[in-house]
Amino acid sequence: MTSLKTDLTSKADLQEHGSGTGSTRGKRPVYIDFFPPCNNACPAGEDIQGWLALAQAGHYFDAWKKLTEDNPMAAIHGRVCYHPCESSCNRGFVDSPVSIHAVERFLGDMAIAEGWKFPENEAKSGKRVLIIGAGPSGLSGAYHLARLGHEVNIFEAGPIAGGMMNFGIPAYRLPRNVIRAEIKRIEDMGVEIKLDHKVTDVMAEKNEGGFDAVFIAIGAHIGKKTDIPARDASKILDAVTFLKDVELGLKPQIGRRVAIYGGGNTAMDAARTAKRLGAEEALIIYRRDREHMPAHDFEADEALSEGIKIHWLRTIKNLDSTSLTVERMEIEDGKPVPTGEFETLEADSVILALGQATETEFLSGIEGIEFTDDGTVVVDKQMMTGHPGIFAGGDMVPSERTVTIATGHGKKAARNIDAWLGQNIYEKVPNNPLVAVEQLHVWYRTNADARQQAHVEPDVAVIGFNEIVAGLSEAEARYEIQRCYSCGNCFECDGCFGACPENAVIKLGTGKRYEFDYKLCTGCAVCYEQCPCHAIDMIAEP
């Protein structure tokens, strides 16, 4: 009873002395926008939480516009991005991550179906930029430069735009009409793409075309080789050429049994493509175990489901007319070492999927440009090479090689090119502090697993190159969008407003959030403790 009386007395004292202001309140609540982990993990720099919030309200066009401020190819990335945003999603610690890539595809497909366009910037800068390569990095760079008012021309050595999105990703994962639609939208902004135009002299092209800057994004189109003793060299193909030939309508001679040497995503694609071309057996040979496999788990799972065989801990020693000899390996200290044990496997041909290299020799004569040991081009933090005004990105610079990283490089290069053309240096605004799952107060926690996109049955999938994954319906997409926790950012749930015992939280209207009346606030922290997304923090009194 004494304790209760003391508490009541303290309450009365607080009211008498200005509702807890001054020395009676050690900390005060403040609304703070934190940085969500999904945004932090996105290689393209998308404001994922921002466009999810708009989509959650049913504003699909606005959500697509917000998404494409950073990434112009939503329908493509919704299919082929390996979605590191989902691996970082705080919801994954509760049940399963928000299926962000599926929602991105939903918005991208809607944009194509509805014919949504990018606005053309009427304020022209008078500057001209040459982009070499019409892959994801070059297309992204062109889009962002066009938005900034610059005239952009892309020179592409191949017969179609899209780069490795056409020649490295099979159509069953990325339908070609989707690529064409996304590229057409960029062209409609005024970007000119010149096909079948291989650049061999960058400086000559720059000077003759009157270009003020150059962005080189030629990708990695050369398959790496290894020496395998073989009686018939024609039995050995490289995966990049194999996939490109298939895309161009050619029929590589692979026989009934095909071995694919490598353990990355390209190896999985080559094996699955061989199966679709009629190979009775496609087996992957990889010198390490699955734990150390560079391919993503879901890629390997899909390959296995389609009847692809994977021989782990094997390395090819030689190839005969209808068979190959492999040596068993074992892992010691994380590295594969030979055992001296051999076995024979039946195979009519071998497809090498050992990685790709970039053809950068044509840049060697340009003053200031330097290369790493593997032939990639050295760039500074502004994406510029050692030669002023020549920038590079995508697979040809040191980094991971994915469509999304290349797209992010295009955006980063465009911003830096724009600054350089204006004789400035682009400085990225620092991100707000990252919000971790431990900071959330998910008091309404319930299990609601992600909606899965439907897959074509494996025995049907291997018949041809039709797309094997279906998108979400609108109802499924809305469900998935609503699973977002809005980590670190207020979504106006009214929790703080309803919980405050002093009526110190003031509603400012829809979309305007709230503010605190510190004359009434006692610093009790009830608002902070119940805020599910950690949009409120407690800070020491000034």
Q: What is the mean pLDDT of residues 205-226?
A: 91
- How much of the chain, in percent, has pLDDT values that exceed 70? 94
Cα separation, 11 vs 447, in Å, equals: 40
Topology (CATH level 3) of domain 128-222+357-421: FAD/NAD(P)-binding domain (3.50.50)
Contact 140, 107 (CB under 8 A): no
Strands (E), 142-266: 151-155, 192-194, 213-216, 222-223, 236-238, 257-261
Cβ-Cβ contacts under 8 Å for 142 (sequence gap 6 or more):
131, 152, 154, 186, 191, 410
Between the ranges 63-77, 209-223, 283-297, 330-344, where is the mean pLDDT highest? 63-77
Residue 13 pLDDT exceeds 60: no
pLDDT(300) > 50: yes
Calculate the dihedral angle through the C-alpha atoms of 239, 241, 247, 249, rounding to the nearest 10 degrees: -120
Q: Give me the pLDDT at residue 22, please.
A: 46
pLDDT given for residue 442 in this prediction: 82
Q: Indicate if the pLDDT at residue 1 is higher than 80.
A: no
- Output the pLDDT for position 279: 95
**Residue 499 predicted with pLDDT over 70:** yes
- The model's confidence at residue 232, banded by pLDDT at 50, 70 and 90, is low
Mean pLDDT of 475-483: 95
pLDDT tens-digit profile of 380-405? Answer: 999 999 999 999 999 999 888 899 99
pLDDT at 233: 65
In this predicted structure, what is the pLDDT of residue 321?
A: 80
Where does the chain hold its CATH 3.50.50.60 domain(s)? 128-222+357-421, 223-355
In this prediction, residue 49 has a pLDDT band, given cuts at 50, 70 and 90, of: very high
User: What's the average model confidence in pLDDT over 245-252?
Assistant: 91
DSSP for 337-359, please give it. EEEEEEEEEE-SEEEE-S-EE--
Is 142:163 a contact under the CB 8 Å cutoff? no
Residues 6+ apart with CB under 8 A from 357: 220, 222, 223, 224, 374, 375
Could you tell me if 260 and 228 are in contact, meaning their C-beta atoms sit under 8 angstroms apart? Answer: no
Is residue 408 within a helix (H) or strand (E), and if so which, with residue range? Answer: helix 403-421
Question: Is pLDDT at 16 greater than 70 in this prediction?
Answer: no
The pLDDT score that the predictor gives to residue 445 is: 63
More confident residue, 12 or 165: 165
Least confident residue range of 17-21, 99-103, 350-354, 515-519: 17-21
- Write the pLDDT tens digit of every residue in 108-122: 999 999 999 998 888
pLDDT of residue 377: 94
* pLDDT tens readout for residues 416-468: 999 999 999 999 999 999 999 999 988 766 678 888 999 999 999 999 999 99
In one-letter notation, the amino acid at residue 42 is: C
Two tokens, residue 539 = 């800070």
pLDDT confidence of residue 488: 95
Which whole number is the average pLDDT over 358-374? 90
* pLDDT score at 200: 94
Location of structure tokens 């039995």: 235
Token pair, residue 126, equals 């008078």
The Cα–Cα gap between 134 and 154 comes to 6
Mean pLDDT computed over 271-276: 96
What pTM does this model have? 0.91
Dihedral pair phi/psi, residue 537, rounded to 5° = -125, 155
Measured distance CA(246)–CA(170) in Å, rounded: 9
pLDDT for the residue 179: 98
What percentage of the chain exceeds 90 in pLDDT?
79
Which pLDDT score, from 0 to 100, does residue 224 have? 81
Band of the pLDDT at 483, cuts 50, 70, 90? very high
pLDDT tens digits for 326-356? 999 999 888 899 999 999 999 999 999 998 8
pLDDT for residue 14 is more than 60 = no
Average pLDDT of the residues in 136-160 = 97
The CATH 3.30.70.20 portion of the chain extends over 13-33+490-540
Phi, psi values for residue 495, rounded to 5° = -65, -45
- SS3 at position 157: coil
Greatest distance between any 2 Cα atoms in the chain: 97
pLDDT digits (tens, 9 = 90+) for 50-98: 999 999 999 999 999 999 999 999 999 999 999 999 999 999 998 899 9
Q: What is the pLDDT of residue 8?
A: 30
Give the model's confidence band at 251: pLDDT under 50 very low, under 70 low, under 90 confident, else very high: confident
- CATH number of the structural domain 223-355: 3.50.50.60
Length of the chain: 542
Query: SS3 for 266?
Result: helix
Q: 170-186: buried (b, 16+ CB within 10 Å) or exposed (e) per residue?
A: bbbbbbeebbebbbebb
Residue 235 has pLDDT above 50, yes or no: yes
Collapsing DSSP states into helix, strand and coil, what is residue 50? helix
The per-residue pLDDT of the chain, averaged, comes to 91
What is the spatial distance between Cα 84 and Cα 495, in angstroms, rounded to a whole number? Answer: 31
For the domain spanning 13-33+490-540, the CATH number is: 3.30.70.20
Neighbours of 535 (CB within 10 A): 26
The 257-261 sheet, strands edge to edge = 236-238, 349-352, 257-261, 281-285, 309-311
DSSP label at residue 29: E
**pLDDT of 423:** 95
Secondary element (H or E) of residue 41: helix 37-41
Residue 294 neighbours by CB under 8 Å, 6+ apart: 263, 264, 265
